[in-house]
Amino acid sequence: MTRAVAAGAPHAEEVSRRPGTLRRLRAPGVLTLLSVAVAVSAVLGLGIGAIDIPPGHVLTVLADRLLGIDTGVAVDPQHAEVLWAIRLPRVILAILVGAALGIAGAALQGIFRNPLADPGVVGASAGASLGASIAIVAGVSVLGTMTQPVAAFLGALAATMVVYLMSRRGGRTEVVTLLLTGLAITAVVEAAVGLLTSAATDQELRDLTFWRLGSLGGATWDTIAMAAPFTLMAVAALPFAARPLNVLALGEREAGHLGIATERVRAIVVVLAALGVGAAVAAAGLIAFVGLIVPHLVRVSAGPDHRVVLPASALGGAVLLLLADLISRTAVAPVELPLGVITGLLGGPFFLWLLHRTRREQGGWA
Amino acid sequence: MTGTMLHATGLTHGFGHRTVLDDVTLDGAAGEVVAIIGPNGAGKSTLLAALAGDLRPAAGEVRLLGRTAGEWGARRLAGIRAVLTQQWSVEFPFTARQIVEMGCTAWSGRRPAGGVGEAVAAALAAADVAHLADAPVTAMSVGERARVGLARVLAQDARILLLDEPTAALDIRHQHHVLAVARAQAATGRLVVVVLHDLNLAAAYADRIALMVAGRIEALGDPHRVLTADGLEAAFRHPIAVAHSATGVVTVNPAARSAAAVA
C-alpha cells in the first residue's frame, strides 16, 4: 500500500490578516464595569428631573424605604415622595425593559446566527405591539393585569416564528431575506394596528399611540408588577443557553455533530426572548435598536462568547435605557420626548455605521 | 484495530425525482482511510451526510460501532464520530481557540487526560493553526478557516472521522498535511472517511477508494484496483491517464483524447 511520506506539520509562514484586533477587555472587567454603570445611571435617573435630588438624598431614601436603615440625613418629604412614587418605578422599569431588550437581542442574534437580528428587525417588537393593541381594543382582560403582556408575548412569538421560518434555508439565515421578511411582517402588523386605531375610542387611541413611540412615562408599581415576572424570567434563564448558542455559531448541522439539540435550544431561546420582548413592549411600547446596539458593543469590547455577551447585554441594555430615559425627560423639559425617538436617533446612525464598517471589512453581509 | 466501525447497507435516497444515493453499501474498519471520489453531483456529500446521521435515507441503514444514529442519540453520537462539513462559517468573531474548544463540548462528561486546554493546543498544532490561535476566524482566509475546522474535529477526539473535502481550499503543502493528519489519526485506530476531489491525493493516502457515479458506488477497493483509466474515464467522462511509479504510487492525469486509449 502506498503511503505518501508526510513531513511533520508544515512550518507556518503565511501571515494572517488580523484587522481590528481590538484590545479585548476581560469578561469579568466588562461585567463589573457595566454593573457599576447600571448603579450610577440609576442614581442619576433618580436624582435628575423637574426637581433635582442630590445623590446622597437618593441613597438615603432608598436605604430608608428598601432596607429600613435610618442614615440620619434629613430629606425633604416631598422629594422622598417624588422619588418613591414617580422616579423609582420609572428607573426600575427602565432597567427591566432595557435588560430584556438587550438580552433578547443578543439571544436572537445567536439563534439567527446574524448580528442584525434585533427584536425590531425580526418583527418581534411589532408582533408584541399588535398583540397588546388587540388586547386593548378588544377589551380582553381574562388574565387581569397580565392580559397585555401575555398578548404581547404571543404576538412577539408568532411574528418571530414566521420571520424565522421564512428567512432560513439549510441552517443559515439569509440576510436579505431576513431583513425583507422582517420588513413585510412589520408592515402587515402596522397596518393591522392602524385598522385597530380606526375602531378605537379616544382613551384606547392614546394607549395605542403610546405603543408606537415608546415611553417609560406610564411607569407605576403596577406596571412593574406586570412586567417584572416575564422580563426577569428572560434575563435569568437566557444565560443558561450561552454554551449551546456558542456552538450554534458554527452552524446548525455542525452544532448537531457536537451533540447540541439544536431544535430544542432554538425553541427555548425564541420563547424566552419573546417573553422578554413581549413584556418590554407591553410596559414601554416600541423602543428601537436597543437589542441591536448593545450586543454589538459588547461583542466589540468583550468578544463573542455568549457566556459574557448575554449577561453583559442585559446590563448594557439597562444602562442605555436609563440614560435614554433621562435624556427624554430632561432634554426639552418640561416636554417629554418619546423614548423611541431617543433610541431611534442614537440607533439609526449607529446602524448605518455598522453597515458601513461591515462592508469595508468583509464586503457586507450578502 | 478491531474490525468494522462503520457499516452502511443499501442506502437509497432521492431529492424529488433525482436519485442521489442508489443502493450504496460501504464498510469502514478501524485504522483505515477510506476516500470517496467521483464527479460533481455523484452523491458524495449526501453519502457522507447519511454516514454522519444528518440525513435519514429513504432506504437502508447506517451503523456506527454497531448502532444507528437514532440508537446513539445526538450527544453520545458526538462522542464517537466527528464531522468536518464542506462549508461551515461563523458569523461572530470567535477566535480559532474558541472554535476548537467547542469541539470539546462533544465530550459528554468525559474530559481529556491533559485537560481541555492541552487538547485544544494539541489540535491547533496538529492542524498547523497554532500561530492563529487568538485570531478571529472571521478575519481568516478560506484555507486557514478550513484548517481551524480540522482542528475542531480533531479536538472532538472521536473514533470515526468524516471529512467532506477537507483539502478543497488548501495549498498543495496543506493538502498533503491534512491527509497526513488523517493517516496519523487512522494509525491510532480511528476510521477516517474522506471525500476528495483530487484523485492523486486519494491515490497517495487512502487504503481504499470508493468511486461514486450517479449515486452508485461503481468501484471499491485499493487505489490500484479503483484508479484505472477505463473506470475513471467512464466515471468522469474525460480522457484520463493512469501511471504507476516504481515505488508503487498511482498517479492520475488528464490525457489527450488520442493518448487515452494507450494509457
* Separation of CA A144 from chain center: 25
pLDDT for A172: 64
A27-359 homologous superfamily: ABC transporter involved in vitamin B12 uptake, BtuC (1.10.3470.10)
In the three-class reduction of DSSP (H, G, I as helix; E, B as strand; rest coil), residue A218 is classed as coil
Cβ–Cβ < 8 Å for B252, B242: yes
Run of H or E residues at A331: none
Annotate chain B with DSSP letters as a single string: --SEEEEEEEEEEEETTEEEEEEEEEEEETT-EEEEE-STTSSHHHHHHHHHTSS--SEEEEEETTB-HHHH-HHHHHHHEEEE-SS---SS--BHHHHHHHHHTTSSS---TTHHHHHHHHHHHHTT-GGGTTSBGGGS-HHHHHHHHHHHHHHT--SEEEEESTTTT--HHHHHHHHHHHHHHHHTT-EEEEE-S-HHHHHHH-SEEEEEETTEEEEEESHHHH--HHHHHHHHTS-EEEEE-TTS-EEEEE--HHHHTT-
Q: Residues near B87 by Cβ (< 8 Å), separated by ≥ 6?
A: none
pLDDT for A106: 96
Cβ–Cβ < 8 Å for A189, A127: yes
Look up the pTM and report it: 0.85
Cell of A173: 439565515
Question: In terms of Cα–Cα distance, which of A120, A121, A114 is closest to A173?
Answer: A114
Q: Residues near A247 by Cβ (< 8 Å), separated by ≥ 6?
A: A254, A255, A258, A260, B102, B105
Q: Residues near A302 by Cβ (< 8 Å), separated by ≥ 6?
A: A24, A25, A26, A27, A30, A308, A309, A312
Would you tell me how many other CB atoms lie within 10 Å of the CB of residue B83? 28
For A21-35, A99-113, A175-189, B133-147, which range has the lowest pLDDT when averaged over its residues? A21-35
Mean pLDDT of A76-100: 92
CB contact under 8 A, A249 and B88: no
pLDDT for B111: 62
CB contact under 8 A, A253 and B54: yes
The whole-angstrom separation of Cα A275 and Cα A277 is: 6
Q: Which of B103, B144, B203 sits opposite A258 (nearest CB)?
A: B103
Predicted-complex ipTM score: 0.88
Residues of chain B with pLDDT under 50: 1, 260, 262-263
In the three-class reduction of DSSP (H, G, I as helix; E, B as strand; rest coil), residue A241 is classed as helix
Q: How confident is the model at residue A2 (pLDDT cuts 50, 70, 90)?
A: very low
pLDDT for B263: 44
- pLDDT over 70 at A280, yes or no: yes
Question: Which CA distances in Å does A166 have to A59, A162, A183, A248?
Answer: 50, 6, 12, 19
Contacts of B152 in chain A (CB under 8 A): 250
Contacts of B132 in chain A (CB under 8 A): 16
Phi, psi of B165 (to 5 degrees): 45, 60
CB contact under 8 A, B176 and A18: no
The whole-angstrom separation of Cα B123 and Cα B133 is: 11
CB contact under 8 A, B205 and A114: no
A346-361: per-residue pLDDT in tens? 878 877 887 787 677 6
Contacts of B95 in chain A (CB under 8 A): 303
* Separation of CA B59 from chain center: 23
Residue A211 or residue B130, greater confidence: B130
Domain segments of chain A as ranges: 27-359
Q: Which of A4, A249, A250 sits opposite B176 (nearest CB)?
A: A4
pLDDT for A75: 81
Q: Report the gap between the CA of B214 and the closest CA in chain A (Å).
A: 23
Query: Where do we find the cell 385597530?
Result: A196
User: Which residue out of B32, B34, B102, B245 would a mutagenesis test of the A interface target, given it has the greatest number of A Cβ atoms within 10 Å?
Assistant: B102
The whole-angstrom separation of Cα B155 and Cα B166 is: 16
Question: Which CA distances in Å does B237 have to A136, B37, B220?
Answer: 69, 14, 19
Cell of B135: 485570531
User: Which residue out of A2, A253, A298, A313 would a mutagenesis test of the B interface target, given it has the greatest number of B Cβ atoms within 10 Å?
Assistant: A2
CB contact under 8 A, A2 and B204: yes
CB contact under 8 A, A6 and B183: yes
Contacts of A258 in chain B (CB under 8 A): 78, 102-103, 105-106, 156
pLDDT for B122: 93
Would you tell me how many other CB atoms lie within 10 Å of the CB of residue A199? 10
CB contact under 8 A, B74 and A259: yes
pLDDT for A7: 38
pLDDT for A20: 36
Cell of B195: 471525500
A121: left (phi over 0), alpha (psi -120 to 50) or beta: alpha
